[in-house]
Structure 1
Amino acid sequence: MNYSTLEIWFIIVGLGVGTFLLRFSFLGMIGNRDLPPWVLRHLRYTAVAVLPALVAPLVLWPAATGGALDLPRLMAAVATLGLGYFTGNVIVAITGGAGTLYLLLFLLG
């Protein structure tokens, strides 16, 4: 599709306004109010729900291999999960997973 310059700028401004309104609905309108305990309880699990959803496609269908599952990425995910579970330290888990990934990519090619 060919868009004119005016259409492209209209799309950019529209997306910017939409993003602002979404963020303002949480930060601007209720930013200085106390939230009910049930909302705070649910918000605690946001990162736990979002991060696996972001990482799982990179492990199961990596673009680097054309979507085929490969051993280095799978083992790096297992190492990251194991280190995170046993140490309870996010930095150790991420570093160990990254180290496992790069070591296996180096060894297996």
Structure 2
Amino acid sequence: MVDMHQYWIVVLGIGLGTFLIRFSFILIIDKITLPETVQRMLRFIPASVMPALVVPAVLLHKNGVATFAGWDRILAALIAVLVAWKTRSILATIGSGMVSLWILKTMI
């Protein structure tokens, strides 16, 4: 069994280390000017991260097993894509996807 005092020292140390690493980038990025090409590339990060998070949730079912998750998820994802295309709002996209999935789960 691990001593709780030692456990909390390790947890707080790891948390502090994580905070300092992330905060250092905020401090550094404020003091330097990134080249235009880097700024252009960084604009595509949200557009590439969102599908990487959403597609496995839509297509995979339980415990990451590659099985068909159901038409309700596919249809909710298509509704969210249409809302994203029309509104260009991430909040509206996520909200419409969640609400449509809840409605479809109760109907199907």
Match for residue 21 of structure 1?
20
Supply the distance in 2 between the matched residues of 1:106 and 1:83 (Cα, whole angstroms). 21
Q: If the length of structure 2 is used for normalisation, what is the TM-score?
A: 0.74
Q: Runs ≥4 in structure 1, deviation > 6 angstroms?
A: none
Which amino acid is 2:100 matched to?
T
Supply the distance in 2 between the matched residues of 1:43 and 1:95 (Cα, whole angstroms). 25
Supply the distance in 1 between the matched residues of 2:34 and 2:64 (Cα, whole angstroms). 45
Identity, % of aligned positions: 32
Cα distance 1:61–1:4, how it changes in 2: closer, same or farther (>3 A)? Answer: farther
Q: Tell me, which stretches of 5 or more residues in structure 1 are unaligned?
A: none
Q: Tell me, which stretches of 5 or more residues in structure 2 are unaligned?
A: none
Question: What do you get for the CA RMSD once the two structures are aligned?
Answer: 2.5
Q: If the length of structure 1 is used for normalisation, what is the TM-score?
A: 0.74
Match for residue 101 of structure 2?
101
Q: Deviations over 1:82-107 (max 9, x none)?
A: 3322x143244333322321211111
Residue correspondence of structure 1 range 36-75 to structure 2 within 5 A: 36-63=35-62, 68=67, 69-75=69-75
